[in-house]
Amino acid sequence: MYQCRPVLAEDYSFICSFPQNAEELFYMFPTAVYPLTVDQIEGNSNSRLKPTVILNHSGQVTGYSNLYNYEEAERCWLGNVILSPGYRGTGLAEALINNMIAIARNELVVKTLHLCCHSTNTRGLLFYSKLGFKPYDLTKITGKQGELIAGILMRISLND
């Protein structure tokens, strides 16, 4: 039903419309400034691996993610996960994450895929847990207002 493909330059303007407020952008891309701009997301994407979009049945870009911090044969990290607001809760996020898991397993051939989810993002934590990601550590993150937030480090084994 959904198709994933590498991001194209013309996709960035669509991706910029996905974060609906500063909090959503912080969850997706903590160092970005709201509202998200093409320059910000394109610059970030160019420093990442396998920037990927997911398309709906009409071919419209409806989600985005990438991988980073690749350590050959060991691990990489899932980053910048965001969906178009109208497609949240439809199974699209699961399809996108499963595609990113497949890329990490089959193309990058790593043992584990890691991510960091903010402790304030309950929906995200529950979602990643449902997909099989397990928490294993905490990190300190400074929020946009200078507040301290726990980043919950999670991983999934790709050897299974």
| Contact of 108 with 67, CB cutoff 8 Å | yes
pLDDT digits (tens, 9 = 90+) for 112-145: 999 999 999 999 999 999 999 999 999 999 998 9
pTM of the entire predicted model? 0.97
Contact 29, 40 (CB under 8 A): yes
At 137-156, the pLDDT tens digits run: 999 999 989 999 999 999 99
CATH of segment(s) 3-115 = 3.40.630.30
Least Cα distance to 108 among 80, 67, 154 occurs for: 67
Domain ranges of the chain: 3-115
pLDDT, tens digit, for every residue of 39-81?
999 999 999 999 999 999 999 999 999 999 999 999 999 999 9
